[in-house]
Amino acid sequence: MQIINYISIVAMPMIILLIIINALKEKTQVFNIFLKGATDGIEIVLKIFPTLLGLFVAIGMLRSSGIIDFIIKIISPVTNFFKMPSEILPLALLRPISGSASMAIATDIIKNYGVDTFIGILASVIMGSTETTLYTIAVYTGSVKIKNTRGILIAGLAADITGIIVALIICRILII
């Protein structure tokens, strides 16, 4: 265990040292390259900021309006048929939209039900097998100015639904 701790302590300084040695060997100006990269990064942030702002406002509106609870009431007969715990539904609905909201919900689920319960394990598997699809689409397509995202959205949400269904099936097989 001490060797892993030692490696983690020296890893970043060694990488920085290797970059500097390689730059000196090849006679490149590392700081100028760093500044160029930082400038490019700021330009990308400025390009995607309006998209992210709109997404964050929409997430806040969804959470505070009560529409998530309404959707859960509508789809709960279907999810009850498949024996999906109703406690997981907010996580399943918000995971494609917001990473921070889904992390808060997963943390709350684990705090209330425990890490080694079916619901806690299912929440963890869902967090690992799904993506914040809308956020990812907004960031990547916004940075390159793609406007038509219908096909991407359908594929991403289908992958999220598949991840949730497979997580439920695997957890049912392995835990019960």
CA pair distance 21, 139, nearest whole angstrom: 35
Phi then psi dihedrals of residue 113, to 5 deg: -110, -15
Q: What is the pLDDT of residue 130?
A: 93
Count the neighbouring beta carbons within 10 Å of the beta carbon of residue 127.
20
Output the tens digit of pLDDT for each of the chain's 176 residues.
Answer: 688 888 889 999 999 899 889 888 988 888 888 899 899 989 888 887 887 788 778 777 877 888 888 888 899 898 888 889 988 999 998 899 888 788 888 998 999 999 999 999 999 999 999 998 888 888 888 778 787 877 888 999 999 999 999 999 999 998 86
The answer to whether 99 and 132 have CB atoms below 8 angstroms apart is: yes
What ranges do the domains of the chain cover? 45-175
The answer to whether 163 and 130 have CB atoms below 8 angstroms apart is: yes
Residues 6+ apart with CB under 8 A from 152: 137, 141
CA pair distance 45, 50, nearest whole angstrom: 9
The answer to whether 97 and 132 have CB atoms below 8 angstroms apart is: yes
Q: Please tell me the pTM assigned to this model.
A: 0.67
CA pair distance 169, 150, nearest whole angstrom: 29
